[in-house]
Structure 1
Amino acid sequence: MKNRLQGKLVLVTGATAGIGEATAKLFAESKCNLAISGRREERLQSLKKELEKDFDIEVFTGAFDIRDRDACGEFLESLISPVDILVNNAGLAKGVDAVYDASFDDWDTMIDTNIKGLLTMTRLITPSMKQRNSGHVINIGSIAGHEAYPGGSVYCATKHAVKAITEATKKDLHGTEIRVSMVSPGLVETEFSNVRFKGDEERAEKVYKGYKALTAVDIAEIVHFIANRPMHVNIMDTIVFPVAQSSASMVHKEA
């Protein structure tokens, strides 16, 4: 496959694990320079060391919470060149409680991370893209952005918001050469369920038992494919399931 990405600066949020880490590695293989952010400094530095050594690229790191708008701005100001591709990957689910019994703190964390964090990075980076008439914003959504399910009222709402933001951003940038895309995965075996169940390993493991879930690399390959299309091609969204899954709540598991 032709490499149309070499030399571009790709910013990946939530790059310390899962889809974000896998995405960073694939762009590094395509000889992109990287700006990676996340809350875990040690993991960022380890990934930076690995990718710079293996692929002879530059990797800039920012250890901060995407909810901290000032920290987002400071990180972007520290970069030596404009961002060509923004992968808004940072996001999480907290809890599976019904709307009448859920934690306000969990709601705030999801809304501030999944919606406001994504909006902050998009707001800070797209003016430069618009000035250059070039760039690509890729948002990591979810099947939860297309279907709601019990116990997911706020998480599903945040991912519905990501879908709306993606579509509206494309329309805001109508007439420019900037591309806007989204990937909407189903069940991906990452740290997602560990976070959702607040460290309950046994409960998290049950989510992925009895079938073959998607992997972080499966989704990263789709993100990379979308970014590597010719400049006149804009893939707006892809819904991606493991074969065993047919909807947000329909998963066939072997006994």
Structure 2
Amino acid sequence: MSERPAADRPVALPTHRLITPVEPAPSRWTMPTDGPIDDSDIVAIGADLEPGTLLAGYRAGVFPMPFERRRLAWFSPDPRGILPLDGLHVSRSLRRSVRRFDVRMDTSFRAVMEACGDPKRSGAWINRDFVDAYGALHELGWAHSIEIFEPGTRHLVGGLYGVHIGGLFAGESMFHTATDASKVALVHLVEWLRATGATLLDVQWKTDHLASLGVIEIPRSEYLSRLREAVA
């Protein structure tokens, strides 16, 4: 029997400690269950970023982003981008990169979010309100980060973060300042999710870059069906 390549073997993420998530106070808002109000995938506008509201949104298949500077929009893309947990494309060069970095989990959550929200990045949208809101979810045990460091240093060069509910991981954003660093974070995330029994990795929208890594699109109705099973 041949040994699977390193990038295909389960990865033990070092120096992380997961806590049992704490359920926050319920949201005072009712999450939308129907389709978008226009062709932008927006299904609602308003509400807040309280932990209970964020969790209610993800459980209903919607997620927030800033809208018109000071307002919130809630999105439910159709089609929805997901990465099948057995479908990640790992190239030969990426396999080499996986062995090149130090990887940690939940040691620098806010630093990852702030790097993802760097205003110098094209399309940056993560503001302080979002960093604080997801930081609160992280403290409650619902949001996690995968962090990529230069070997033997505390120099953060890549990472990703998202929300983990039952068998769902809703990926929010990723960044890199070193070649392949965000891809390495994704490899480790997928292996961690497979090892912990997750069933659904949501990436919101498929881009050409994500498609090259194995991301596919499914109809909203199918996503919501898979979501219900994942968070049950």
Fold-level similarity (TM above 0.5): no
TM-score (norm 1): 0.25
Higher strand share goes to which structure?
A: 2
TM-score for the superposition, normalised by structure 2: 0.26
Larger RCO (CA under 8 A, 6+ residues apart): 2
